[in-house]
Amino acid sequence: MSHPGELIIEPRSGRPADACVFILHGLGADGHDFEPLVPALTLKEGLDVRFILPHAPRLPVTINGGMVMPAWYDIHEMSLDRRVDTRQLVASAERIQALVQEQIDHGIDSRRIILAGFSQGGAVAYQAALSFPAPLGGLLALSTYFATAETIELNEANRGLPIEIHHGSFDPVVPEALGKAAQQRLQTLDYPVHYRSYPMAHAVCPQQVGDIAAWLNARLG
């Protein structure tokens, strides 16, 4: 599995970063997909955040006729319970965890590192964040599902991780039922979860951008 790197956006202030937000894109996209989101986020003055937008490797994707495209893992079928290649998903999560560890090794406090992911990227973010061995600052799950809910080895370090879930009520790709199922599962496990629904399809909407900024400010400010 080739690892094609990541897009890194340093703080606008020109000062050294003291926090880091990872954003994992969806199927068929790359790190540039969420590049326009970064300048649209109104972050508090004095908040020096490095954004890291990794690119997924290129894999054959079964549901797309075996076409090779950027994917964090293969999806075998689009049934509501989403049969996916868990081994590939975990490998992608371990790669993200290694990138997180690099930031920690370079002096960023783990509690000032946030993982965010959209769709497939969100499934990887769930796995990476909830099994990470140092306490993180938060998990933002966008239009996604908790693919490894039955197999993940939860790490006690992130038992209190604040989780923000956003989903579109008209999502034809990842039905909102999957977002709500993740919320219910996490609440059963006693995670602090907050859920927001938006009148949108499989996307990010302007109102949501404001909510994401407010959440990042609350988590990192």
Active site residues: 119, 171, 202
Angle at 97 between CA 93 and CA 98, to 5 degrees: 120
**How many beta carbons lie within 10 A of that of residue 166, not counting itself?**
25
What radius of gyration do the chain's Cα atoms show?
16
Cβ distance 120 to 26 under 8 Å? yes
Task: Look at residues 81, 76, 77, 59 and name the one whose alpha carbon lies nearest to residue 68.
Answer: 59
- Report how far apart, in Å, the C-alpha atoms of 7 and of each of 22, 34, 162, 170 are: 10, 10, 25, 30
- For residue 8, how many C-alpha atoms fall within 13 Å in the half-sphere facing its CB? 10
For the chain, the residue count is 221
Q: Report CA torsion sign: 204, 207, 213, 219.
A: negative
- What lies within 8 Å, CB to CB, of 70 at 6+ separation is 25, 27, 28, 29, 30, 55, 56, 57, 58, 59
